[in-house]
Amino acid sequence: MENGLNPISTRAALELTDDNLRCTVKEYSKWVEKALGISDLRSRLQAGEAVAAFDFRRDQLKIKWLKQFLKAGFSVSEGSSRRWLVSLVYPTGIMALVEVVDGWDVHNEWRRALPPT
């Protein structure tokens, strides 16, 4: 489903393993389709296919936690790859502030696991 509230963001799942940081797309977004160079993103998602926006090696990550996201979001890249912005909260409105406060412990866990580089 396309996000009508904020066309520049989309929901995704973030997974951290011992070796990788992976972001899997969970909803259709035109800009993500274009960024990934996938012309059939919507049909792939509807078919239940796991579509990775990125799958970076942990030892190659470039991480910067962002003040404008109240440190509940970061930019990430690997080598010369595209830089992705990841928000641990929905990035608009008063609900973002509530999510930042309510989820502070979770955000701290992510910051400890992914220190700035």
Query: Domain residue spans in the chain?
Result: 12-113
pTM: 0.77
Whole-number pLDDT of residue 4: 39
Whole-number pLDDT of residue 6: 47
For residue 98, give both structure tokens.
Answer: 């509530």
Query: Can you tell me the distance from the alpha carbon of 83 to that of 75, in angstroms, rounded to the nearest whole number?
Result: 6
Q: Within a 13 Å sphere around the CA of 109, how many CA atoms are in the beta-carbon half?
A: 6
Nearest-CA neighbor of 117 among 57, 58, 61, 55?
Answer: 61
How far from 1 is each of 19, 34, 37, CA to CA, in Å?
Answer: 31, 16, 19
13 vs 106 pLDDT, higher one: 13
Task: Render pLDDT for 57-86 as a digit per residue (tens, 0 to 9).
Answer: 999 999 999 887 667 788 999 999 999 988
Q: DSSP assignment, residue 9?
A: -
Q: Is the pLDDT of residue 14 over 60?
A: yes
